[in-house]
Structure 1
Amino acid sequence: MTDTTRLRLDVSYDGGDFSGWAAQPGRRTVAGVLTEALGRLFGPEAPLGLTVAGRTDAGVHASGQVCHIELPTAEWEARRDTLLRRLAALMPPDARVKAVRPVPPTFDARFSATFRRYEYRVADTVYGPEPLRRHDTLGWVRPLDLTRLHEAAAGLVGLHDFAAYCKRKEHATTVRAITRLEWRRDPDGVAVATVQADAFCQAMVRSLVGAMLTVGDGRRDPGWPAKLLSLRERSSEVTVAPAHGLTLVEVGYPDEAEYASRAEATRRLRA
């Protein structure tokens, strides 16, 4: 049996020209270009076992994505000092591997994670987003009141069934625990939502943002987003915010000694 080493890869990408993370036939995806680059280094048949913390949707960006792979230890030892530079030469300019490091075999990029944190940027200035930030910032034509946004966010924090905000998948739960949901104004005047949870179901973050924006601009009552939590199916009243304003900024993990127990607990919860 070949001795292998598990590696953690920290990845960032501009999601604008990707059809999401997951590999899809005939489509350009982040996993696709990463696998292609690794294949050119280690051979196209190398069983990498690429596993990601969170499969971002088409158009969504990441500055703090995490994944793991398995490499034959001899291959890793031979390339450990040059792997980042080699990947930089092989990857396209809109996707980067920023760090590679060995981790215990108990580390699982997906199931060992304790949280995922996203940020959503919204420019409500009359002139719209700054041109240099147009690819990661949504332009909103109505002024946003941060006090109303804070009130709307407060009602969504905690453990809830977010069926009203999710694209339901068969045999998958829509119960999630949001531990942080808040808004701020950055020095450039952009309103930024921070959303953190143990995990998210498909389109959940953008649906939450879409609902809160209608509160922030005065069209909905601050308590309305929380009232939708009583629903057990997706709400047709919720507009999903565009993908390009959303960025995965951090994935959290416990101490090394807790990787396995955390992964086991997450698998049990998802089942």
Structure 2
Amino acid sequence: MRIALGIEYDGTDFLGWQRLSHGRTVQGELERALSAVAAQPVTVNCAGRTDAGVHGRCQVVHFDTTAQRALRGWVLGGCANLPPGVAVLWAQEVPEAFHARFSARSRRYRYTILNRPVRAALDARYVTWERQPLDAGRMHAAAQALLGEHDFSAFRAVSCQASHPRREMLAIGVRREGEQVIVEVEANAFLHHMVRNIVGSLLPVGRGERPVEWMAELLAGRDREVAGPTAPATGLTFIGPRYEAHWGLPAEVSQ
């Protein structure tokens, strides 16, 4: 039997998603919790790995098991065995052909910037602080150069292990909501640190230090050393993947 789960997590206190031989990771805690529910070892596959400090609004995973449990049991039992920063949102039986990573048509991220003179207190774990005024309109206009399929080497971390740098940016937008500037992106897949490097390059545009055309120049130049710095992990949330409707998953991850 193959089960898909929706997972929500606060990434602040974890060393990222992927299981490690040392330190706490979201995958490690989830597999420990599900193994307790199943009374047998459980290994999960996810839609998209996240780095240390990055949050997940609806990460999707799948796992195979012979344990007979009600779907409600995977949700409640998983939550009961997980630390406070991780929760199972839903469980769904899926066909064996379904794969959390390979069946996903796209992935979505949101980056939230608190743009005011004073740092955050209540939201400090979930936003990045920028004290200088940002022009969200300029940032949005600059970001549109990234739409479509491109070589995103300018926004690729040196440590990235992807086989090639080409990705298709399906949507990208920047808007202001009160004191927050929000960057939302959707692509077929992402390179390591790609979203954070894009945001790090949009910030100088928003501050007026670079022209709107700079993002197009960076994309064409394919030089990571010329682009802006990597934005902090705080502020970045993996909103979740999108799947075709025939898989029967909840609406938040279907299209």
TM-score normalised over the length of structure 1? 0.86
- 1:60 and 2:57 matched: no
Equivalent residue for 1:84? Answer: 75
Equivalent residue for 1:18? Answer: 14
Pair member with larger Rg: 1
Equivalent residue for 2:44? Answer: 50
Superposition deviation, residue 84 in structure 1: 1.4
- Label 1:166 to 1:38 Cα distance change in 2 as closer, same or farther (>3 A): same
User: Following the alignment from structure 1 to structure 2, what is the Cα–Cα distance between the partners of residues 209 and 139?
Assistant: 13
Kindly provide the amino acid, as one letter, of the partner of residue 202 in structure 1: H
Tell whether the 8 Å contact from 1:149 to 1:183 is kept in structure 2 after alignment.
yes
Equivalent residue for 1:191? Answer: 181
- Label 1:111 to 1:258 Cα distance change in 2 as closer, same or farther (>3 A): farther
Superposition deviation, residue 223 in structure 1: 1.0
Tell whether the 8 Å contact from 1:60 to 1:244 is kept in structure 2 after alignment.
yes
Please list, as runs of the form range in 1=range in 2, the aligned pairs for 1:136-147 lying within 5 A after superposition.
136-147=126-137
Superposition deviation, residue 82 in structure 1: 2.3
Kindly provide the amino acid, as one letter, of the partner of residue 193 in structure 2: A
- Label 1:79 to 1:245 Cα distance change in 2 as closer, same or farther (>3 A): same
User: Can you list the C-alpha shifts for 1:54-102, whole angstroms capped at 9, x where unaligned?
Assistant: 0001110011111101111xx23x4433221111111000011111110
Tell whether the 8 Å contact from 1:107 to 1:256 is kept in structure 2 after alignment.
no
Tell whether the 8 Å contact from 2:140 to 2:175 is kept in structure 1 after alignment.
no
User: Following the alignment from structure 1 to structure 2, what is the Cα–Cα distance between the partners of residues 185 and 232?
Assistant: 29
User: Following the alignment from structure 1 to structure 2, what is the Cα–Cα distance between the partners of residues 181 and 253?
Assistant: 19
- Label 1:15 to 1:254 Cα distance change in 2 as closer, same or farther (>3 A): same
Tell whether the 8 Å contact from 1:215 to 1:221 is kept in structure 2 after alignment.
yes
Q: Secondary structure at the match of 2:65?
A: strand
What are the ranges of 5 or more consecutive residues in structure 1 without an aligned counterpart?
260-271
Kindly provide the amino acid, as one letter, of the partner of residue 59 in structure 2: Q
For 1:70, which of 51, 56, 64 is the aligned residue? 64
Tell whether the 8 Å contact from 2:94 to 2:247 is kept in structure 1 after alignment.
no
For 1:211, which of 201, 220, 233 is the aligned residue? 201
User: Following the alignment from structure 1 to structure 2, what is the Cα–Cα distance between the partners of residues 171 and 249?
Assistant: 21
Equivalent residue for 1:152? Answer: 142
- 1:96 and 2:90 matched: no
Tell whether the 8 Å contact from 1:11 to 1:95 is kept in structure 2 after alignment.
yes
Kindly provide the amino acid, as one letter, of the partner of residue 235 in structure 1: E
User: Following the alignment from structure 2 to structure 1, what is the Cα–Cα distance between the partners of residues 77 and 35?
Assistant: 12
User: Following the alignment from structure 1 to structure 2, what is the Cα–Cα distance between the partners of residues 9 and 258?
Assistant: 12
Equivalent residue for 1:6? Answer: 2
Kindly provide the amino acid, as one letter, of the partner of residue 140 in structure 2: H
Q: Secondary structure at the match of 1:244?
A: coil
C-alpha RMSD of matched pairs (Å): 1.9
User: Following the alignment from structure 1 to structure 2, what is the Cα–Cα distance between the partners of residues 190 and 16?
Assistant: 20
Kindly provide the amino acid, as one letter, of the partner of residue 51 in structure 1: N
Equivalent residue for 1:268? Answer: none
Tell whether the 8 Å contact from 1:104 to 1:256 is kept in structure 2 after alignment.
no
Superposition deviation, residue 232 in structure 1: 4.0
More helix by share: 1
Deviates more, 1:210-219 or 1:231-240: 231-240
Superposition deviation, residue 257 in structure 1: 6.7
Kindly provide the amino acid, as one letter, of the partner of residue 168 in structure 2: A
User: Can you list the C-alpha shifts for 1:191-236, whole angstroms capped at 9, x where unaligned?
Assistant: 1000110000100000000100110011111111221122345225
TM-score normalised over the length of structure 2? 0.91
User: Can you list the C-alpha shifts for 1:158-206, whole angstroms capped at 9, x where unaligned?
Assistant: 11100110125456111001111111122x4211000110000100000
Tell whether the 8 Å contact from 1:18 to 1:59 is kept in structure 2 after alignment.
yes
